[in-house]
Amino acid sequence: MNNYFNTYIILLLLASPLSASDIFLPEINQEMKNLAKEVANSNARVKAFNVKKPSINGQLRNRIKALEKQVDKDSKNHRLSVQNLMLRTVKNKSWKTKQAQLIRGLKKNLNIQEQEESTVSGHRLYLFVSSSMPKKKMRTYARQLQKYPNAQMIIRGFIGGGEKMQPTMAYIKSIITKDENCGRGVACKTYKTRINIDPVLFQRYTINKVPTLVYVDELSGGNYCSEGNIEVVNASGVHKFIGLAPFKYMIQALSEKTDLSKLKHLLEIR
State which H helix or E strand residue 100 sits in.
Answer: helix 93-109
- Number of continuous H segments (helices) and E segments (strands) in the chain: 10, 5
Task: Report whether the peptide linkage leading into residue 211 is cis, meaning its omega lies within 30 degrees of zero.
Answer: yes
Domain boundaries, the chain: 64-97, 119-268
Helix (H, G, I), strand (E, B) or coil at 109: helix
Architecture of the domain defined by 119-268: 3-Layer(aba) Sandwich (3.40)
Centre a 10 Å sphere on the Cβ of residue 228 and count the other Cβ atoms it contains.
18
Q: How confident is the model at residue 262 (pLDDT cuts 50, 70, 90)?
A: confident
Window from 14-28, 81-95, 126-140 with minimum mean pLDDT = 14-28
Arithmetic mean of pLDDT, 257-265: 87
Residue 269 has pLDDT above 90, yes or no: no
What pairing do the DSSP bridges indicate for beta strands 122-129 and 212-220?
antiparallel
183-220: per-residue pLDDT in tens?
Answer: 766 778 899 999 998 999 999 999 999 999 999 999 88
Q: How confident is the model at residue 140 (pLDDT cuts 50, 70, 90)?
A: very high
Which residues make beta-bridge pairs with 70? none
34-91: per-residue pLDDT in tens?
Answer: 776 666 655 555 555 555 556 677 777 788 778 877 777 777 777 777 777 777 766 6
Rounded CA-CA distance 156/171 in Å is 14
Residue 133 has pLDDT above 80, yes or no: yes
HEC string of 202-258 equals HHHCCCCCCCEEEEEEEEECCCCCCCCCCCCCEEEEEEEEECCCCHHHHHHHHHHHH
Rounded CA-CA distance 217/131 in Å is 27
